[in-house]
């Protein structure tokens, strides 16, 4: 910019400066910075989001030209609502959410509260809990598949060893019975086994978020409450926990969004089986799209997944907007 343009600035008061600042820029200036990111984002994220809605009303098979696909109206959705696998997947996603917003959240908060005090080796302890976060879901899935292995896996071997000990002590137990527990084979057990592996990863994440939140808590408030005679539990219940409320909102929303996104672990460990008993929406969608080539039907599942998430995405964004205005 030629220097002659900034001479008038010097004469202006601070309040006028603001106004001029807005006018000063060439109207195209923001676009030179935004053009490439926006184009990329538009092509690979915004357009696909809307395209899914379009595909959901067709019977596209993924290979023939989309122009040849028939518009089928709400047929995909009608079929979906009458599909027992779909309802199984929805129920499983809800179970996943129920576990995720309770167990890792409570454990993570409790760990953060303890690790926030000065204790020895706190770095080692923190690392032990959040190390699983660094692993790829595939790696977690494979390692846990091994842990759950019926005959040789870590869990059943340990159980069998324990039962063997009891047998030696004279109890009438059969150590080999432990080797028959099919953690990933029994329909009423499999989902919980997969969620167990996911919880193993999630606890450290929640702990990190709460540790960051605890750092923002003003120690003076805690001291004031202590002077007022607040006991440990009351201090937590009436002072610390309310102060952590914003973090708790984020943790709950993130947990729900993560539960709805769950795919990798299910695909690696069970493919949704046996007999769809560990099916979740994302896995169901993938199966329909790339195993059955019913892209239209899969898109309808995607639309439902989107609609379920919408409320939680809105909650998160609402919080950001409020912060923005504060």
Partner 1 sequence: MSQAIDLPRTVTREQKIRRVQWAVIVVWIGAILWLFPLAGALVTSLRSQEDISANGFWSIPQTLSLNNYQEAWGQAGISNYLGNSFIITLPALFGMLFLSSMSAYALIRFRFRLSRFFYFMFLAGMLLPFQILMLPVFRLSNQLGVYDTYWALILFHTAFQLGFCTFVLRNFMRTIPVSLFESAVIDGAGEFTIYRRIGLPLVVPALAALATLEFTWVFNDYLWALVLVSRNELKPVTTGLSTLFGQYINNWPLIVSGSLLATVPTLIVFFALQRYFIGGLTMGATKG
Instruction: Please give the residues from 150 up to 209 whose contact with partner 1 meets the rule CB under 8 A.
Output: 151-154, 157-158, 160-161, 200, 203-205, 208-209
Check residue 240 for interaction with partner 1 (CB under 8 A).
no
Segment near partner 1 (CB under 8 A); pick from 67-75, 77-85, 182-190, 264-272? 264-272
Q: Nearest distance from residue 98's CB to partner 1, in Å? A: 18
Closest CA to 58 of 40, 41, 73: 73
Question: Angle at which helices 190-216 and 245-261 pack, to 10 degrees?
Answer: 150
When the beta carbons of 190 and 203 are compared against partner 1, the nearer one is 203
- Cα Rg of the chain, angstroms: 27
Closest CA to 104 of 204, 189, 193, 194: 204
Segment near partner 1 (CB under 8 A); pick from 70-78, 83-91, 142-150, 181-189? 142-150
Check residue 243 for interaction with partner 1 (CB under 8 A).
no
When the beta carbons of 80 and 160 are compared against partner 1, the nearer one is 160
Check residue 51 for interaction with partner 1 (CB under 8 A).
yes
Check residue 128 for interaction with partner 1 (CB under 8 A).
yes
Whole-number Å distance between alpha carbons of 111 and 107: 6
Coil vs helix vs strand at 188: coil
Check residue 111 for interaction with partner 1 (CB under 8 A).
yes
Give the count of residues interacting with partner 1 (CB under 8 A). 109
When the beta carbons of 191 and 211 are compared against partner 1, the nearer one is 211
Do 288 and 281 form a contact (C-beta atoms < 8 A)? no
Of residues 70 through 109, those in contact with partner 1 by CB under 8 A are none
Q: What is the largest CA-CA distance in the chain?
A: 98
Burial of residue 250, with CB atoms counted within 10 A of its CB: 0-12 exposed, 13-18 middle, 19 or more buried? middle
């Amino acid at each position: 910019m030629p220097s002659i343009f900034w001479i008038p600035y010097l004469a202006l008061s601070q309040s006028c400066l603001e106004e001029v600042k807005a006018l000063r820029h060439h109207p195209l200036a923001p676009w030179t910075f935004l053009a490439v990111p926006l184009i990329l984002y538009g092509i690979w994220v915004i357009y696909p989001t809307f395209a899914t809605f379009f595909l959901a009303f067709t019977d596209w098979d993924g290979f023939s030209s989309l122009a040849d696909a028939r518009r089928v109206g709400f047929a995909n959705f009608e079929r979906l609502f009458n599909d027992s696998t779909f309802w199984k997947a929805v129920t499983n996603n809800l179970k996943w959410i129920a576990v995720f917003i309770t167990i890792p959240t409570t454990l993570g908060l409790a760990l953060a509260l303890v690790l926030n005090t000065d204790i020895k080796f706190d770095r080692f302890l923190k690392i032990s809990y959040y190390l699983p976060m660094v692993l790829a879901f595939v790696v977690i899935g494979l390692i846990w598949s091994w842990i759950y292995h019926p005959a040789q896996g870590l869990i059943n071997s340990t159980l069998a060893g324990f039962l063997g000990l009891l047998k030696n002590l004279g109890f009438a137990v059969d150590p080999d019975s432990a080797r028959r527990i099919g953690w990933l084979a029994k329909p009423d057990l499999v989902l919980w086994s997969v969620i167990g592996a996911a919880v193993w990863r999630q606890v450290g994440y929640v702990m990190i978020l709460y540790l960051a939140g605890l750092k923002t808590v003003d120690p003076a408030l805690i001291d004031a409450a202590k002077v007022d005679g607040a006991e440990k539990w009351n201090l937590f219940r009436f002072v610390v926990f309310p102060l952590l409320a914003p973090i708790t909102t984020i943790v709950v929303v993130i947990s729900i969004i993560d539960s709805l996104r769950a795919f990798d672990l299910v695909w690696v460990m069970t493919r949704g089986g046996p007999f769809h008993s560990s099916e979740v929406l994302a896995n169901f969608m993938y199966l329909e799209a790339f195993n059955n080539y019913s892209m239209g039907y899969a898109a309808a599942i995607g639309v439902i997944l989107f609609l379920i998430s919408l409320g939680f995405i809105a909650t998160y964004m609402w919080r950001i907007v409020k912060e923005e205005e504060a």
